[in-house]
Amino acid sequence: MFVFGDSVFDPGNNNFLNNFLNISVAQGKANFPPYGETFFRYPTGRFCDGRIIPDFSASFTGLPPWRPYLDRANHNLVVGANFAGAGACVFVENNPYALNLQIQLGFFKEVVNLLTQQLGDTDTKKLLREAIYISSLGGVDYMLFADSSSNVTEPAMQEYVNIVIGNITEAMKEIYELGRRKFAFQSVGPLGCLPWMRAIYNSTGECVEFLQILATMHNNALAKAAEELEIKLSGFKYLIFDFFTSLMDRTNKPKKYGFKVGDNACCGGGAYHGATACGWLTEEYELCSDPNEFVFWDAAHPTKHCYSQLAQLLWNGMGNVTWPLNMKQLYDLDIDTEVYSQDIDLIDVV
């Protein structure tokens, strides 16, 4: 499994940005308490109190939680790598100090070369052809777009979404052309309902409508783009995980899913605990007594307990949550057999 994404998937790569980019991006890190308190018992760099979706997905296949790719020590690249970094954008210019999509693609190409040296060309191609490539991208681009735009029209939003999706599609094509076939796309979450966005844009506490529209536009375009790729690219298999609706349901109806609080974050300060950061040394913050009662851990990220539920939906959820396959079905899929079967079908048609 190879993981691309932003803070929702970051296992702590941003901890190493000082060395990699020769800068200090303190606010793009979660390497201080109380992050990590309920599982790892120390801050790993994950924007959560414990494990995140890629960690749970790894556990379903018998693997331990992800190590950051930039932690170069003791990597077992045969099982994959996690390249995600908080603040990562599809557009480099949106946040030049983050591990943006093109940088993460560069990391993946490094891994291909390292595995080829270790295993040889044939075994590396087989391993990478059967691997899953999971991504969660675009959310930061849209939040920055909203921050820089006032009175933006829906046509302008759609135009921006189309450019973001176009760049993601080109990146996935690049991975595909290297012989990779299994892709898992996580939709952008309900950006307008994050405690952070509610605190900034809407004092009444309602979800921020134009951010919700942007997220919905993105998710619709992502699903369409993935469907088109499957038609055009032989052997391309994918899933879409509806992170937006799954998280939104828990935000709106927390008690239905075993939570007590759906709008406020467990850790943070100000309105909805979304106005100031969790644990940041120069800001005052409050910490709840039981994160398992909360949907959100901090101003923009769910708790470990919420992520565990969402990861289960991704792994074996029904077609209303993850489609046309779930993660387990994609994981179990024999690509070589599938492609052979498709070729036979085409011959029969001819």
Instruction: Tell me which residues are annotated as active site.
Output: 7, 298, 301
Rg (CA), the chain: 20
C-beta separation of 42 from 36 below 8 A:
yes
Q: Which residues in the chain belong to E strands, given as ranges? A: 2-5, 81-82, 132-136, 182-186, 237-241, 261-265, 267-268, 286-287, 294-296, 322-323
Q: Quick one: angle between helices 121-130 and 335-349, nearest 10?
A: 80
Determine the 3-state secondary structure of 81 from DSSP.
strand
- With vertex at residue 279, the alpha carbon angle to CA 87 and CA 288, rounded to the nearest 5 degrees, is 115
Rounded Cα distance between 14 and 47, Å, is: 11
Rounded Cα distance between 103 and 94, Å, is: 14
C-beta separation of 254 from 262 below 8 A:
yes
Residue 21's CB: how many other CB atoms inside 10 A? 15
C-beta separation of 194 from 139 below 8 A:
no
| Total number of residues shown for the chain | 350
C-beta separation of 46 from 6 below 8 A:
no
Determine the 3-state secondary structure of 276 from DSSP.
strand
Rounded Cα distance between 47 and 28, Å, is: 10
Query: How many helices and strands in the chain, by DSSP H and E?
Result: 12, 10
Amino acid in position 72: R
Pairing of strands 182-186, 286-287: unpaired
Burial class (CB in 10 A: 0-12, 13-18, 19+), 345: exposed
What secondary structure letter does DSSP report for 113? Answer: H
Rounded Cα distance between 335 and 237, Å, is: 9
